[in-house]
Amino acid sequence: MGSSTPAPATPRAALEAHLAELEGASNGFAFASGLAAEDALLRTVAPGEHVLMPNDAYGGTVRLALQVHAPAGTRIDTVDLSDLDAVAAAWRPETRMVWVETPTNPLLAIVDIAAVCELAHARGAVVVVDNTFATPALQQPLALGADAVVHSTTKYLGGHSDVVGGFVASSHERLAERVGFLHNAAGAVPGPFDCYLVHRGARTLALRMERHSASAAAVAALLVDHPAVAEVRWPGLPTHPGHDVAARQMSGFGGMVSFRLAAGEQAALDVCARTRVFTLAESLGAVESLIEHPGRMTHSSVAGTTNEVPADLVRLSVGIEDPADLLDDLTQALTP
């Protein structure tokens, strides 16, 4: 065989190059799941060093930090990252990493990425941003100063509920080098077909995120005016406490909407049971709309911790179906 023809890129190399470019990173690593990608990043912190985690984040992330990495010697505290005074107060001499998730899962709180980076960098720590909810189509954490971005590509990047995957993007030389080492040494890598599926999904990402955001705006407007709903959380609402920061750091507000039922937990469970177009399921970020009860489903592992979520909360992943069907479905589900 002649050696002058370059070898074709493997599906994983092609995916890594594409997603790194979308995040504006010089390095990208595809993992077998979002949690595997997170695990590699958390392993870059040595035993005895300290990580500040959000007090509102995906339950599995908190479980990984508190039940896997803390017993192995990493010191971890959770803090409200939208409160910079609280972040400064929680700081320790050995703090090496701040873990940001914005918008957060499931409460859709917004963290000011640039402000957290300024504070962390001045004290010598790196900042990781979980960009799963916003995606690079709506938010560019590295351009805002973050040192690494992590994704569950299972969600919007894959976009079709048919693959599990994760991704780390970074231009930080030392961090990227260490993640690259762990990627190879621990081997939590995706197979070629999973890489192909994520890569195919990423091609329609920008288009899908536009539709998710537009339909979520219509859903949020319906919920805000509904008497059964006590509170709506969607960063596009001007009443959302993080709206101004979101408007500054995001180019759209995304497709995730959470709301609380005035009548409490049973009412939340009843709404989840009554929808027909929104399917009851834990995942998010795909073309079809999903509904779930975080307290009993995605966030049941953080019950009793500072990350516990309200029992009357419902989380929607607004899909790309006809928005009129979504609004009709929610209206009938909210009307016993």
Rounded CA separation 63/34 (Å): 13
Rounded CA separation 295/311 (Å): 6
Q: Which is nearer to ligand PLP, 100 or 229 (CB)?
A: 100
Instruction: Work out how close the CB of 4 gets to ligand PLP at its nearest, in angstroms, rounded to a whole number.
Output: 40
Q: Which is nearer to ligand PLP, 297 or 327 (CB)?
A: 297
Rounded CA separation 311/171 (Å): 40
Q: Nearest CA to 294 among 216, 233, 336?
A: 233
Q: Which is nearer to ligand PLP, 130 or 147 (CB)?
A: 130
Q: Which is nearer to ligand PLP, 107 or 175 (CB)?
A: 107
Q: Which is nearer to ligand PLP, 149 or 334 (CB)?
A: 149
Q: Nearest CA to 43 among 142, 141, 183, 146?
A: 183
Q: Which is nearer to ligand PLP, 112 or 130 (CB)?
A: 130
Region for 254 from its dihedrals, namely left if φ exceeds 0, alpha if ψ lies in -120 to 50, beta otherwise: left
Task: State which of positions 101-130 bind ligand PLP (CB under 6 A).
Answer: 101, 105, 130
Instruction: Work out how close the CB of 267 gets to ligand PLP at its nearest, in angstroms, rounded to a whole number.
Output: 24
Q: Which is nearer to ligand PLP, 157 or 267 (CB)?
A: 157
Q: Which is nearer to ligand PLP, 152 or 170 (CB)?
A: 152
Instruction: Work out how close the CB of 150 gets to ligand PLP at its nearest, in angstroms, rounded to a whole number.
Output: 7
Rounded CA separation 280/238 (Å): 29
Distance of CA 167 to the CA centre of its chain: 12
Instruction: Work out how close the CB of 65 gets to ligand PLP at its nearest, in angstroms, rounded to a whole number.
Output: 12
- CB of 169 closer than 8 Å to CB of 12: no
Alpha-helical (H) ranges within the chain are: 11-23, 34-43, 59-64, 84-90, 113-122, 135-138, 173-186, 192-202, 205-224, 243-249, 265-274, 323-334
Instruction: Work out how close the CB of 105 gets to ligand PLP at its nearest, in angstroms, rounded to a whole number.
Output: 4
Binding residue (CB under 6 A) for ligand PLP from 55, 95, 132, 275? 132
Enter the tokens of residue 255: 């497709």
Instruction: Work out how close the CB of 304 gets to ligand PLP at its nearest, in angstroms, rounded to a whole number.
Output: 20
Q: Nearest CA to 223 among 333, 108, 58?
A: 333
Q: Nearest CA to 136 among 155, 154, 149?
A: 149
User: How many residues appear in the chain?
Assistant: 336
Q: Nearest CA to 286 among 161, 166, 196, 194?
A: 161
Per CB under 6 A, 255 contacts ligand PLP: no
Task: State which of positions 141-170 bind ligand PLP (CB under 6 A).
Answer: 152, 154, 164, 166
Q: In the complex, which residue's CB is closest to ligand PLP? A: 34
Report how many residues bind ligand PLP under the rule CB under 6 A: 15
Going 246 to 248 to 155 to 171, the CA torsion angle's sign is negative
Q: Which is nearer to ligand PLP, 45 or 128 (CB)?
A: 128
Binding residue (CB under 6 A) for ligand PLP from 61, 139, 170, 307? 61
Q: In which residue are the tokens 């779930």 written?
A: 292
Binding residue (CB under 6 A) for ligand PLP from 60, 136, 255, 295? 60
**Per-residue string for binding with ligand PLP, 20-59, x by CB under 6 A?**
-------------xxx----------------------x-
Instruction: Work out how close the CB of 284 gets to ligand PLP at its nearest, in angstroms, rounded to a whole number.
Output: 6
Give residues in contact with ligand PLP (CB under 6 A): 33-35, 58, 60-61, 101, 105, 130, 132-133, 152, 154, 164, 166
